[in-house]
Amino acid sequence: MNIIMRRIILLSAVFLVGVLGSGSASPRHEGFTVTVLGAHGGLEDGNLSAYLVQLSGDQGGILLDAGTVLHGLQVAWHKKVLDQPKNVLEKTIRGYAISHAHMDHIAGLIAVSPEDTAKPIYALPSVIMDMTDHVFNNHIWPNMGDSGSEPRVGRYHYSPLVSGKSVPVVGTEMRITAYPLGHGGVESSAFLLETTGGAILYLGDTGPDTVEPGYHLHVLWQGIAPILRMHRLMGIMLECSYDDSRPRKMLFGHLTPSWFMAELHDLQTVSGMNLHGMRVIVTHMKPSLQSPDTSTSVIMGELKEKNDLGVKLIPAQQGQVIHVP
């Protein structure tokens, strides 16, 4: 056998080892899976803000807000997108990230807490204080947490977040970073979930910087701009509660389609990156008793009409699974 043939055989062997070896390695995560347990804000008490985020291919995940939990799990089970509710609650949901303590963001967590397993609650300190003082306080509800008034059940461990500082999400391969938002005089939160493959950004309730004091959204855009420039931001989950007929003085810390697009324009300007094609999941659209069948379609129609950025608008719907990217 000549030297050329020996080299060919050796290179072939190295190639096969590499291929076979790669099959035994952990699967590469290609993005995030968002399962909508609750999509709306306001009136519809069986369909309130709650988004289960997992790395694609992983079992464990984190629930971003928890306005509707059990009913959302039942809807997802009937639609065959999740396992039966008991298994998901006990094994899949590894923790909660609560943007603020308004009832349409925590009601499902309160209701399901007697049957839940021990989990962390990730939140800014002001949100934890609201929950310990006004919810899990042995008056409104038994204290299911590990701080606050006695007696304490201790089922939930409060994990206070520092703005701009990431911490691991226990039981997953994700990290979470919180940023404060303005919401009609209440501190709300945005959460950035990151892994080695990319990131997804979720915003709780928020009003536009022009109305809310503090320019929190502008500061948030500055914080995530480097991730956008590195092409690691795979998607954004942003609220749009009302249509554009809503007067400014009646926003109560929320966005309309015009404000929604104005804030995305600011993100594009701050980052210097073209947002064309960015997946933007539209959350927290509020149904109206005056027009329950058309209010969300009006919001989406106005968003599409004003979408001069070319972002990919995805309306959140209960029981829906959204792959990002």
Tokens found for residue 313:
């608008």
Helix (H, G, I), strand (E, B) or coil at 258: helix
pLDDT at 289: 83
The Cα–Cα gap between 120 and 171 comes to: 10
**How far from chain centre, in Å, is Cα 143?**
26
The Cα–Cα gap between 158 and 69 comes to: 19
pLDDT at 78: 98
Residue 140 DSSP code:
S
Hey, what amino acid is at 282? V
The Cα–Cα gap between 65 and 237 comes to: 12
Helix 257-271 × helix 216-229 angle, to 10°: 50
pLDDT at 29: 56
The residue ranges of the chain whose pLDDT is under 70 are: 1-29, 292-293
Hey, what amino acid is at 89? L
| pTM for this model (two decimals) | 0.91
DSSP per-residue string spanning 141-193: B---BSSSSSS----EEEEEPPTT--EE-TTSS-EEEEEEEEETTEEEEEEEE
The Cα–Cα gap between 69 and 87 comes to: 13
* Burial of 3: CB neighbours in 10 Å, binned 0-12, 13-18, 19+: exposed
**Which contiguous run of DSSP H or E holds residue 129?**
helix 125-134
pLDDT at 22: 37
**Which contiguous run of DSSP H or E holds residue 61?**
strand 61-64
pLDDT at 290: 78
pLDDT at 224: 98
Residue 192's DSSP bridge partners are 177, 201
pLDDT in tens, 79-109: 999 999 999 999 999 999 999 999 999 999 9
3-state helix, strand, coil in the chain (%, to 5): 35, 25, 40
pLDDT at 83: 98
User: Strand 50-55 and strand 167-168: pairing?
Assistant: unpaired
**CA atoms within 13 A of residue 39's CA, in its CB half-sphere:** 19
What is the b/e burial string over 117-137, where b = at least 16 CB atoms within 10 angstroms of the residue's CB? Answer: eebbbbbbebbbbbbbeebbe
pLDDT in tens, 278-310: 999 999 999 988 776 678 999 999 999 999 999
Structural contact between residues 149 and 138, judged by C-beta atoms closer than 8 angstroms: yes
